[in-house]
Amino acid sequence: MRRSSMRCLLVAAVCVLTPASLVAQVGKSQGVQDINTATAAAMATMPHLNAAIAGEIVARRPFNSMSEVDAFLATKLDSTQRKALYPKLFLHINLNTASREEILMVPGIGARMLREFLEYRPYRALAQFRREMGKYVDAAEVARMEQYVFVPVDLNTATDEDILSIPGLGARMLREFKEYRPYKAMAQFEREMGKYVDAKEVARMKRYVEIR
């Protein structure tokens, strides 16, 4: 393999050799929309949703976990309907903290893959998830599962690509994220980002970040 095609990212003694693995700590969508950022119009067209339910979702968000999402939607939809919806609308689960129940909400995940998701904790990078899950399923299935997961972004060391993988983040907030480095506490992040967006948006972004 040519040297130019080999790049290593050392995270907790993990060496990753593919350039694509060096970006994005939040899984890339292949069609799944984030329930905290999807428009009401888009949600109204999804399985078992309508304009009224979509409006209630917008009013309720941000959701902090898939457990919250599922509990809210359980008042509107039965379990079969929610199962049909989640391939279209979901909230990324934290690979390190998601409950067993939340992992099993990922479409197509059963007892076997639940066990594999849990076995490799703690995840330090999304590349680690790709490599470990790639032992059991093909690349296409890894990419499909990746749409539903994330590894928190380190506020002090994350690359631009890492930060921009957070749903709804653009160039302006990328600049603000980096301006206040180094972060000493999450309260600092909340305070500084609160200068630019409201408390709901700060809370939405906060779930994707950490200080290591």
**What pLDDT digit, counting tens, does each position of 172-194 carry?**
999 999 999 999 999 999 999 99
Contacts of 80 (CB under 8 A, 6+ apart): none
Q: How far apart are CA 78 and CA 81, in angstroms?
A: 5
CA angle 172, 174, 179 (to 5 degrees): 95
Go through the chain and tell me how many residues it has. 212
Radius of gyration of the chain (CA): 18
pTM for this one? 0.88
Tokens matching residue 17: 């050799």
Q: Is the predicted pLDDT of residue 155 greater than 60, yes or no?
A: yes
Structural contact between residues 171 and 55, judged by C-beta atoms closer than 8 angstroms:
no
Tens-digit pLDDT profile for residues 78-89: 999 999 999 999
pLDDT for position 149? 98
Domains of the chain, residue spans: 25-151, 153-210
